[in-house]
Amino acid sequence: MELFLLLPLVTIVFFIVIAIAFIVGFYNSDRFKNPEEYKDAGSTGERIIYTTLRDKIHIPEKQILRNVYIPTADGKTSEIDLLVVSRKGLLVFECKNYAGNIYGDIKRKKWIQYLGKQKNFFYNPFLQNKNHVKHLKKYLEQFGDLPSYPFVTTISRGKWKVRNLGPNDYFLGYNCHLIDIYNAMPNSDLMQRHYTAIMNKLVPLSRPNEEIRERHIRNIKTR
C-alpha cells in the first residue's frame, strides 16, 4: 500500500524536476539573453555561420564574437556581424539576407535588389566589409599586421548575380565554401603570440548595451 501511494509522488517530483530544468535552460539560452538578435530574418544568416564554425570547423564558442562594435578614429563605431579570433587570423563576416533578385558588381559601390516591381539600392557588402577590416586592423595595430579574412555571406532567400569576383572575394555559398577556406589558412605567429591580448581587447566590444547600439544606428542615419 505504501509503495502504491509513493508512485504518484515520484511521478509528480519527476515532472517538477523536468519543468525546472526546462525553465533554467530557457533563461540560460542565447535566445533569452540576446532577444534582439532573433527579431528579424537578417540574423538567421549569422546564426547559420555561427553553428557552422562551432559544429563543423570546431572553433570554440569563446572565439566566435557576434555584433562587435569597433571604435573608429572619428569617435564612432563600425559594427561587425560576426568575428572569429583564430590562431590563423581574424575572420570578419558581413551577413546579408535579402530576398528577390540581387545584382552586384565588385567594382561598383551600389548594388540593386528587385522585389517584384520594387527596386532598392544598397551599399556593396564587400566594400562595407573591407571598411570593417580596416577599422579592426587599426584598432589592433599595436599587435602588428594581423592576417584578416573578410567574408560576405547570404542564406538562400534571394537570387544573387555578382560580377567580377576575384580569388580573394569570398562570397560564401556563391563562389566558395567556408570549411575549405579555413582549412587552407596557415597558422599566424602574430595571432598565436598575441592571442590572449587580442581577445581581451575584443570580447568587451561584443554584444554591447542598448545605448551603444542606438548611438551606432544614429550615426549611420546621419551619414
pLDDT at 29: 40
Domain map (residue ranges) of the chain: 1-33, 41-221
Q: Which CATH architecture has domain 41-221?
A: 3-Layer(aba) Sandwich (3.40)
Distance CA 16, CA 136 (A): 48
pLDDT at 146: 97
Query: Which grid coordinates are listed for 210?
Result: 542598448
pLDDT, one tens digit for every residue, the chain (223 residues): 454 555 566 566 666 766 565 555 444 444 444 455 444 445 667 888 999 899 999 999 999 999 999 999 888 899 999 999 999 999 999 998 888 999 999 999 999 999 988 999 999 999 999 999 999 999 999 999 999 999 999 876 788 999 999 988 999 878 888 999 999 999 999 999 999 999 999 999 997 755 545 554 444 445 5
Q: Are 132 and 205 in contact (CB under 8 A)?
A: no
Q: Are 158 and 101 in contact (CB under 8 A)?
A: yes
